[in-house]
Amino acid sequence: MKTSFITLLFFSFSVMLLAQENMINDTLTRTATITYKIKANTVEFSAVTPPLNQIAGAPKAFYNHFWEFGDGDYSKEEKPLKKYKKEGEYEVKYWATNMYDTGKPPTTRPEKLKIDTVEGTYNEEASMTEDLTLIRNREPMPSEDMVIVMSYKNSKTYATNGKLLLYFNEAKYKADNFELVDSRTYHNEKNSPVDGFVFSKEKNEDTRFYASSESSIQYIKAIVSDTTEREDLELTKAEAETTYKNTKALEFSNMKPNEERHVFFTFKTTP
């Protein structure tokens, strides 16, 4: 087993403040309810969402959907069909985000379900075309939560270990815009100290990725090293630590060739 690269993920958000006269606060609490039908280890999910309140003159209102299935998988479909690999109890989470609607996003209670029977062959669905991606489930307003999914893939031909670094909250801003309230891992990723990483001075033909999202978390830039020019990982890490105030570090191990994994982070946006 070989040791993989350290991946650096940086993200920041531009905040636009909108003001108008006679601002009306939405005090109505709306809820969405998870519903599902189980057949062996296949589950058909849907959600009962509250009516939308159309913004006058805007495009037709609709919901964006985000499901976290409790086994390290997720979906953006409205009514996903999920097949579980193993028997057991899973906690499913759901977020509905209202678009072109005058109210707040509905809240949803997690739902626990139990898989008692596994039928048929389970095939892992390889969906990643990149070694590393970041997505978010919504554009949060102040005091709302947001889920960040860090997905990573082993494109090597051998099993590998490695480290992941997530940087957030730019140091140039006095206030923290995001508070990390929960991390959910499904492949035995372990919390790791930020310091104490070992840097290889050896140059080789392996591909090393140094990723950063700039104005948007969905824009990820990868710098590929070669034998003549390579990014200085130690310098990159040092620069990140002066740019950002907060860091989340994880170690992963025994990642099989072509395997894909997802880590889920819930952030609360501050008032």
Query: What mean pLDDT comes out for the span 74-100?
Result: 96
Whole-angstrom CA distances from 119 to 114, 126, 176, 251 are 14, 21, 48, 33
Question: What average pLDDT does the chain have?
Answer: 80
Task: Tell me the pLDDT band of 232, cut-offs 50, 70 and 90.
Answer: low
Could you tell me where in the chain the CATH 2.60.40.10 domains are found?
A: 33-115
What pTM did the predictor assign?
Answer: 0.80
Distances (CA, A) of 123 to 83, 84, 99, 126: 10, 10, 35, 9
- For the chain, the first-to-last Cα distance in angstroms comes to 46
107 within 8 A of 31, measured Cβ to Cβ: yes
Confidence of residue 236 (pLDDT cuts 50, 70, 90): confident
Find the range with the poorest average confidence among 1-15, 69-83, 136-150, 174-188: 1-15
Among the CATH numbers 2.60.40, 2.60.120, 1.10.3470, 1.10.260, which is that of 2-15+125-269?
2.60.40
The predicted pLDDT at position 244 comes to 92
33-115: CATH number: 2.60.40.10
The tokens for 190 are 């372990």
- Examine the pLDDT at 29 and tell me if it is beyond 50: yes
Alpha helical stretches, state H, the chain: 233-243
Q: What is the pLDDT of residues 237-246, one digit of tens each?
A: 788 888 999 9
Better-scored residue on pLDDT, 65 or 212: 65
Which residue reads 């409205």 in tokens? 78
Please, which pLDDT band fits residue 28 given cuts at 50, 70 and 90? low
Taking only the tens place, the pLDDT of each residue in 123-149 is 777 688 888 888 999 999 899 999 999
Other C-beta atoms lying within 10 Å of the C-beta of residue 100: 15
